[in-house]
Amino acid sequence: MLYYLQTIPGLGPLAWQEVQQRLSTSDTESLSDSASIRLVPRRNDIVLLRYAGNPRALLNLRVSEDVFAVTVRAFHVVADERGLRQMYAATRETRAVGDALTAWKKALNTRRVPATFRMVVRAVGSHRFTRRQIGQAVADAIKTGWPGRWRQVDEDADVEIWATLLEQELLCGLRLSGADMRQRGTKTHLPAALRPALAAAMVMLTEPAPDDVFLDPLAGTGTLLVERAAAGPFRQLYGSDINTDAVRAMLVNTRKIHGHITCERWDARQLPLPDASVDKIAMNMPFGKQVAPDADLPALYREILAEAQRVLRPGGRLVALVSDARMLNTARTAAARQLRPGQRQRIEVLGMGVTICVFDR
């Protein structure tokens, strides 16, 4: 059965890494050895994968934001009017609808038969037809060709069908995930809060281990702490922030975490923790005026990194998210040379480029 996962632009390879780590041991036979990644610029990375297990397992992935069962694939779609006819024909003739509906029922644990659908259409490349026309072609084919009776609606649909035309390739999917997969039930938001899927990717890069002492010294609303707790057992979680409102939100958002967790109002430049007492640090560096109005960011970065280096044990790992990776590296060179730079991953969040930087002590 063919599925696709959707995540934040730049996170596709890490979403696939999570699939391999979390699903391959229990379902080795059912996963293909390789995924293929498609890019919808500024919107999503799409990871196509073959999976024979229960789709509910896919809904538990954390680096992905949405899961779809593939209903139509068409290649060599031409850029003029004939392309619309090709997409109509491919949608009418697809044989994947039955399996996709079975996957939908399993994912939602329902016996219901969906009767209404909402179209979401995206197009990448230059074509001589509009997104609206693509949606029309696909919707007409669904109404006339798919088993059962289908009615297109704009709201409160039983299912969503997403049609994405990537240059010459059409990919249609039946959405299995709801908004909760993306939002993870976060209770309290502040402006600079991380998207949970990005936090999950950062946590994955810390290589979680059961005896981890994990720290986020810029924890804000606690998104990284929630994702660390979801990633598996730990010895101790520390979350801190200089802002009282943030600590309050952090306490609310981390309330359901079982195990040793400490949320405090601390200054990341002066943590009340002993030298070499932390195994893993993940943090989202302050950036822009929104978070630090008159801050001298280069100085702040130097002091935060020096303190991270002090509390991190030799062999420990730091994963930092920054909008200005060069500024972070300058700070490291000046104040935290024991932090050795490793993997970097460039991501795009709401049109803004950010980088995940990994350092080992």
Ligand X SMILES: C[S@@+](CC[C@H](N)C(=O)[O-])C[C@H]1O[C@@H](n2cnc3c(N)ncnc32)[C@H](O)[C@@H]1O
Stretch of residues binding ligand X (CB under 6 A), selected from 7-15, 66-74, 121-129, 186-194: 186-194
Q: Is 64 or 284 the residue whose CB approaches ligand X more closely? A: 284
Q: Binding of ligand X at residue 286 (CB under 6 A)?
A: yes
Longest dimension (CA), the chain: 68
Q: Is 123 or 311 the residue whose CB approaches ligand X more closely? A: 311
Question: How buried is 267 (Cβ within 10 angstroms: 0-12 exposed, 13-18 middle, 19+ buried)?
Answer: middle
Q: Binding of ligand X at residue 246 (CB under 6 A)?
A: yes
Q: Binding of ligand X at residue 242 (CB under 6 A)?
A: yes
Q: Cβ 345 to ligand X, closest distance in Å?
A: 16
Kindly state the number of chain residues that form the binding site for ligand X, as judged by CB under 6 A.
22
CA atoms within 13 A on the CB side of 137: 25
Q: Binding of ligand X at residue 251 (CB under 6 A)?
A: no
Among 6, 71, 164, 223, contact with ligand X (rule: CB under 6 A): 223
Q: Cβ 290 to ligand X, closest distance in Å?
A: 9
User: Is residue 247 helix, strand or coil?
Assistant: helix
What 3 state SS string does 96-164 have?
CHHHHHHHHHHHHCCCCCCCEEEEEEEEECCCCCCHHHHHHHHHHHHHHHCCCCCEECCCCCCEEEEEE
Q: Binding of ligand X at residue 192 (CB under 6 A)?
A: yes
Stretch of residues binding ligand X (CB under 6 A), selected from 66-74, 202-210, 218-226, 328-336: 218-226
Q: Cβ 42 to ligand X, closest distance in Å?
A: 21
Q: Is 165 or 268 the residue whose CB approaches ligand X more closely? A: 268
**Cα 246 from Cα 336, distance rounded (Å):** 27
What type of residue sits at position 235? R
Q: Binding of ligand X at residue 360 (CB under 6 A)?
A: no
Q: Which helix (H) or strand (E) holds 257?
A: none
Among 160, 264, 267, 348, contact with ligand X (rule: CB under 6 A): 267
CB atoms within 10 A of CB 206: 21
Stretch of residues binding ligand X (CB under 6 A), selected from 89-97, 111-119, 221-229, 348-356: 221-229
Among 152, 243, 329, 355, contact with ligand X (rule: CB under 6 A): 243
**Cα 342 from Cα 359, distance rounded (Å):** 5
Stretch of residues binding ligand X (CB under 6 A), selected from 25-33, 94-102, 111-119, 237-245: 237-245
Among 49, 58, 141, 268, contact with ligand X (rule: CB under 6 A): 268
**Cα 132 from Cα 329, distance rounded (Å):** 46
Q: Binding of ligand X at residue 71 (CB under 6 A)?
A: no
Among 56, 131, 269, 310, contact with ligand X (rule: CB under 6 A): 269
**Cα 173 from Cα 68, distance rounded (Å):** 5
**Cα 199 from Cα 15, distance rounded (Å):** 12
Stretch of residues binding ligand X (CB under 6 A), selected from 36-44, 190-198, 306-314, 348-356: 190-198
Q: Binding of ligand X at residue 6 (CB under 6 A)?
A: no
Query: Which residue, 131, 140, 130, 202, is CA-closest to 163?
Result: 131
Q: Is 134 or 271 the residue whose CB approaches ligand X more closely? A: 271
Q: Binding of ligand X at residue 264 (CB under 6 A)?
A: no
CB atoms within 10 A of CB 182: 16
Contact 228, 234 (CB under 8 A): yes
Interface ranges with ligand X (CB under 6 A): 190, 192-194, 217-221, 223-224, 241-243, 246, 267-269, 284, 286, 291-292
